Amino acid sequence: MAFLVNGNEILKDARRNQYAVGAYNTNNLEWTRALVSGAKETRTPLLIQVSTGAAKYMGGYKLVRDLVLNVMDSMDIDVPVILNLDHGDFESAKECIELGYSSVMFDGHKLPVEENLAKTKEIVRLAHERGIAVEAEIGKIGENQGGGELASVEDAIRFAEAGVDRLACGIGNIHGVYPEGWEGLNFDRLKEISDAVDVPLVLHGGSGIPQDQVKKAISLGIAKININTEFQLAFQKATREYIEAGHDQDRSNKGFDPRKLLRPGTDAITESMKEMISWMGTRPIDDRDSKFVFDEASLNEE
């Protein structure tokens, strides 16, 4: 049976050596297979994650866990895999810890900061008992075109001291499509945070940020980059091309069969992932001492 790792050594290595590991959201079976293909082909660790909304859409956290483990098995994956809950609330983080996710994000940014910190500590306690990693969020990541809030250095220090394994910081980044006239990432604040804490930092809203800004952010401590919208757009574009070319209407070849209709979009996710891995510099497993990676807490091992 496939097993998961918590990714702590992988992300520490990324921060130390100034490269990033993409954290790719899954949305369904095709997405999951596309991401596993990308990791297999590039021989890089796979950080696959699910948002609360996508988990609900797919049928729950247990289904997602079972899906990921079964796809890993059926596709015979031989690189480390981290399964992360993305933007979880307190209850969903506890549920995913119980289910054996190897990493959970507790996103308490909507709470007063003291409550966010107290609940983060509780999640750290529950997760660390089982070798599971924890990500917290400070400041606020903007939503669909704006509204973010910069993370403070004091909060970064307090949350790092609380024992989180990775820290997502609001630094001008936004989920979804970036608006015209977006000001860009706040590198001054990122540098202050990165000078103050050595925990691997996480860049949410990674889709659509110009590559030069992402590379600079990586040089300033970003080790995990969350990507969802970019692959959704890649999927949409390829699917649109298939339909606009009329292939879905080819009745003799059953071009409307979902196994054909969803294929170009699925392949486009893998291609887009491989490009990102290449320019983010994600380190292949064969370049490491693989023992060090597989020595991490291995969850779900039989």
The catalytic residue positions are 86
Q: How far is the CB of 215 from Zn ion (least distance, A)?
A: 20
- The site map against ligand G3H for 70-109 (x = CB under 6 A) is ----------------xx----------------------
Residues 228 and 26: beta-carbon distance below 8 Å: no
Q: In angstroms, how far is the first alpha carbon of the chain from the final one? A: 6
Residue number with CB closer to ligand G3H (2 or 64): 64
* Residue 42's binding partner out of Zn ion, ligand G3H, none, with CB under 5 to 8 Å set by partner kind: none
- Tell me the two tokens of residue 227: 């990507």
Residue number with CB closer to ligand G3H (97 or 168): 168
**Which residues in the 1-60 window bind ligand G3H by CB under 6 A?**
25
**Which residues in the 260-299 window bind ligand G3H by CB under 6 A?**
none
**Which residues in the 160-179 window bind ligand G3H by CB under 6 A?**
175-176
Residues 83 and 49: beta-carbon distance below 8 Å: yes
Annotated binding site for Zn(2+): which residue ranges? 87, 107, 137, 175, 204
| Residue of 65, 204, 224, 283 interacting with Zn ion (CB under 5 A) | 204
Annotated binding site for dihydroxyacetone phosphate: which residue ranges? 176, 205-207, 226-229
- Segments of the chain assigned E as strands: 4-5, 21-25, 46-51, 81-88, 103-106, 133-138, 142-143, 166-169, 174-175, 201-203, 222-227, 298-299
CA–CA dist 35, 18 (Å, integer): 23
CA–CA dist 32, 158 (Å, integer): 35
Residue number with CB closer to Zn ion (144 or 290): 144
- Which of 158, 196, 153, 154 has the alpha carbon at shortest distance from 171? 153
Q: How far is the CB of 296 from Zn ion (least distance, A)?
A: 24
Residue number with CB closer to Zn ion (186 or 226): 226
- The site map against ligand G3H for 195-224 (x = CB under 6 A) is ---------xxxx-----------------
- Which of 183, 166, 84 has the alpha carbon at shortest distance from 120? 166
- Which of 272, 191, 245 has the alpha carbon at shortest distance from 24? 272
CA–CA dist 198, 187 (Å, integer): 16
Binding footprint of ligand G3H on the chain (CB under 6 A): 25, 86-87, 175-176, 204-207, 226-230
